Chain A
Amino acid sequence: MKTEAIPDAARAFLEFPQVLRAHRFAIAGDQALAFMASAPLLAPLNLRRLHRAAHATLAPPPERHAEFDALFYEYFAGGGAGVAAAKSLPEHDAPVSEGPGSQQAIAEIRKLNESGKSAAQSEALGIRRLRGQNEKPLARILRSKLPHRLRLRHERMPRGPRLDLRRSLCDLVANDGDLAALARSGRKAIPRRIVLLIDISGSMKAETNGYLDLAYELSSEFRDTETFAFGTRLTRLTQALRIRNKEAALARASDLVADWDGGTRIGAALDAFLSHPRYSGLAHGAIVAVISDGLERGDHRRMVEAVRRLDRRARHLLWLSPLAGDPRYRPETAAIKAILPIVGHIGDGSSAGSVVDTLLRGIP
């Protein structure tokens, strides 16, 4: 960024938002501009007033006020000693990947899919019945059981609950005053989006394939399902799992993930999900299921804070652990104990089938 031509007094207003961004505060351009615009309005400007203006325009979340204030005073009153250090920090410490050039690869696989033979094959593979006694594929069962939400718009609906006077009147005028039938309308109920966050670290090794299978099934039944895998980094698998051919989809998904069976940094990965502007919006009003044993290395405070933020966004937040399949299981690690009050209880995630059961039972 060019800052040479900017007067010294104004430079601080450009730089401070950058410092904040380096510390994982989400600051939009609009907000930085508002911060700058507020300065001449508050003359005579002093540190106290500037501090109030920074809070009002840059809007730090209340639970991070202390952190924000420390940065503010360090920058504006402390001579900016910590700023140089801040600037050198990476943008995200848990990198996000969607795989470079993945679009082309997906297009190629799509082409492959369209040929009749492999399509038929995928059909046979795709319909997997995880619940033996039931004839319907699993995702179909889920469709009726999962929570729905109503669309905001009223749509024309022949048997809708509401008499649509607006459309009836239009029809009436269009037909010179004759009305064959009153129009009805209603708000369509659509299933809430499912967001899966799957732990693929070493401790989860035995189950990850089953989870990806499930993610594929869910993605093909509910087109807006979002799947992410995390270990030491966060990877979005949504695009890969939308490929129609199941084998190709799963192969593509496993190619994308660079950190199979490695370590875990759950807090950092969830943080990366939440602070990515495009991803975090996906959790709003959604059913978010985190499938992880919660074995966090090191300090778990970051993980707990991330879970709390996730819970405030999601409509339903479920935490499923493969360990919870054992009836003798008790939440004992500090991390799991700390998130228990937020998520309510740790659901059974010992296999794809039990994940489905928990999905069905765990949502009121």
Chain B
Amino acid sequence: MRRSPSSVFDTPEALAAALAREAYVADEGLSTAAFLALKLGKPLLIEGVPGVGKTEAAKALSSALGRKLIRLQCYEGIDAAHALYEWNYPKQLLAIRKEKAGSLDLYTDDYLIERPLLAALRAPEKSVLLIDEIDRADHEFEALLLEFLSDFQISIPERGTIKAKMPPVVVLTSNRTRDLHEALRRRCVYHWINYPDRETEARIVMLRAPHVARAAAHAAVNAVQALRNLALVKRPGISEAVEWATAADLLQAQGASLDDALRRSIGVALKEEDDLALVRDELSGLIAGAVR
């Protein structure tokens, strides 16, 4: 692959620099946590409110390491067949029909469909496993993950136990809509992401949308930071700031003033009717303050 293996990252700063090359701004806390997770061979658990770039962190980490990202999106009711493996039954049936006599092994790799956890286990040196929004899954699923994360092995009744050659890089994210089991938390290296401060967020916006004018980027960031102080149903995240800056920049290119452009494109930053109603009266003042 195009990038060097993880052993090159000798310090958290080197890792942060590598993440920055992937257009991801990691603060000291995150780069230290990710560095320790890589070195100690433990999973990295990232918690934070929606829209602070938890999933992005995992994506950036996988490309900084030059590895494939394997993503397992959790949801209520997720089960083992979606997370671990499944047999390819139609193929097995066809094989039985074709093979009239003799010994036929129906449980070889040919008939095995890898799901994310098994896929990461079988290619630990080539992949980063992202277990996304684990707080959405049931607590019973956490127990299954716990088993997986402690030994990095999966038992398939027909095949026996498959064990990883080396511990794979695993990133777990949670929106903290509920607390995770203590046992799971303590197995991981942990980082809590907050909304970035003004300067960091401006850097992120300009990295992610390099074509946007500086003034528009700063104004969008200021406005988003001001919006986050209000009692909103859904506070705008970082990607909303990026989109708002981009949208305002587009409108500005067609001749609108920056104030006007931000006001007209409020829909990319706030997506709840209640939130729009709440800020309606103050929006002009808020944007004027942000542009200045």
- A residues contacting B by CB (< 8 A) are 26-28, 30-31, 34, 37-38, 41-42, 48-49, 52-53, 55-57, 59, 62, 65, 149-154, 165-166, 168-169, 172-173, 177, 187, 277, 280-281, 284-285, 309, 312-313
Contact residue among A26, A34, A169 (Cβ-Cβ distance under 8 Å from B36): A34
- B residues contacting A by CB (< 8 A) are 11-12, 28-29, 32-33, 35-37, 39-40, 42, 45, 47, 77, 79-81, 87, 89, 92-93, 96, 106, 138-141, 144, 176-179, 181-183, 185-192
Told that A34-B36, A312-B177 touch, could you supply 7 new A-B pairs with CB distance under 8 A?
A: A37-B40, A41-B36, A59-B45, A62-B192, A152-B144, A172-B96, A281-B183
Interchain nearest-CB distance for A113 vs B (Å): 33
Contact residue among B36, B87, B140 (Cβ-Cβ distance under 8 Å from A57): B36
Q: Given A56-B190, A62-B47, A169-B93, A152–B185 Cβ distance below 8 Å?
A: no
Contact residue among B39, B106, B179, B185 (Cβ-Cβ distance under 8 Å from A312): B179
Contact residue among A48, A55, A173 (Cβ-Cβ distance under 8 Å from B191): A55
- Docked CA distance A280–B179 (Å): 11
A-B CB contact pairs (8 Å), 14 listed: A28-B186, A34-B36, A38-B36, A41-B39, A42-B32, A55-B190, A59-B185, A59-B188, A62-B47, A150-B77, A152-B141, A172-B96, A281-B181, A312-B177
In the complex the two chains form, is B190's CB within 8 Å of A312's CB? no
- Docked CA distance A151–B11 (Å): 44
In the A-B complex, list the 4 residue pairs whose CB atoms are closest, starting with the nearest. A59-B190, A52-B32, A56-B33, A165-B89
In the complex the two chains form, is A166's CB within 8 Å of B87's CB? yes
- Docked CA distance A28–B189 (Å): 12
Interchain nearest-CB distance for A341 vs B (Å): 12
In the complex the two chains form, is A187's CB within 8 Å of B42's CB? no
Query: Contacts of B36 on A, CB cut-off 8 Å?
Result: 34, 38, 41-42, 53, 56-57
- Docked CA distance A177–B138 (Å): 38
Query: Contacts of A165 on B, CB cut-off 8 Å?
Result: 87, 89
In the complex the two chains form, is B89's CB within 8 Å of A34's CB? no
- Docked CA distance A161–B93 (Å): 21
Q: Given A62-B47, A154-B81, A312-B178, A149–B89 Cβ distance below 8 Å?
A: no
Query: Contacts of A53 on B, CB cut-off 8 Å?
Result: 32, 36
- Docked CA distance A72–B186 (Å): 19
In the complex the two chains form, is B138's CB within 8 Å of A52's CB? no
- Docked CA distance A53–B42 (Å): 14
In the complex the two chains form, is B139's CB within 8 Å of A284's CB? yes
Interchain nearest-CB distance for A185 vs B (Å): 11
Interchain nearest-CB distance for B199 vs A (Å): 19
Query: Contacts of A177 on B, CB cut-off 8 Å?
Result: 96
Contact residue among B32, B80, B92, B178 (Cβ-Cβ distance under 8 Å from A313): B178
In the complex the two chains form, is A56's CB within 8 Å of B191's CB? yes
Q: Given A166-B87, A312-B178, A52–B28 Cβ distance below 8 Å?
A: yes
Query: Contacts of A65 on B, CB cut-off 8 Å?
Result: 192
In the complex the two chains form, is A57's CB within 8 Å of B189's CB? yes
Q: Given A169-B89, A285-B139, A277–B182 Cβ distance below 8 Å?
A: yes
Whose C-beta in chain B lies nearest to the C-beta of A177? B96
In the complex the two chains form, is A42's CB within 8 Å of B12's CB? yes
Interchain nearest-CB distance for A188 vs B (Å): 12
Interchain nearest-CB distance for B128 vs A (Å): 18
Whose C-beta in chain A lies nearest to the C-beta of B189? A56
- Docked CA distance A359–B77 (Å): 24
Interchain nearest-CB distance for B116 vs A (Å): 16
- Docked CA distance A309–B178 (Å): 9
In the complex the two chains form, is B40's CB within 8 Å of A38's CB? yes
- Docked CA distance A280–B87 (Å): 37
Query: Contacts of A31 on B, CB cut-off 8 Å?
Result: 186
Interchain nearest-CB distance for B234 vs A (Å): 18
In the complex the two chains form, is B92's CB within 8 Å of A169's CB? yes
Q: Given A38-B40, A62-B192, A169-B89, A30–B187 Cβ distance below 8 Å?
A: yes
Interchain nearest-CB distance for B64 vs A (Å): 18
- Docked CA distance A27–B138 (Å): 24
Query: Contacts of A57 on B, CB cut-off 8 Å?
Result: 36, 189-190
In the complex the two chains form, is A56's CB within 8 Å of B182's CB? no
Query: Contacts of A34 on B, CB cut-off 8 Å?
Result: 36, 40, 42, 189
- Docked CA distance A42–B39 (Å): 10
Query: Contacts of A49 on B, CB cut-off 8 Å?
Result: 12, 32
Contact residue among B106, B140, B176, B183 (Cβ-Cβ distance under 8 Å from A169): B106
- Docked CA distance A52–B31 (Å): 9
Query: Contacts of A173 on B, CB cut-off 8 Å?
Result: 96, 106
Interchain nearest-CB distance for B150 vs A (Å): 10
- Docked CA distance A285–B140 (Å): 9
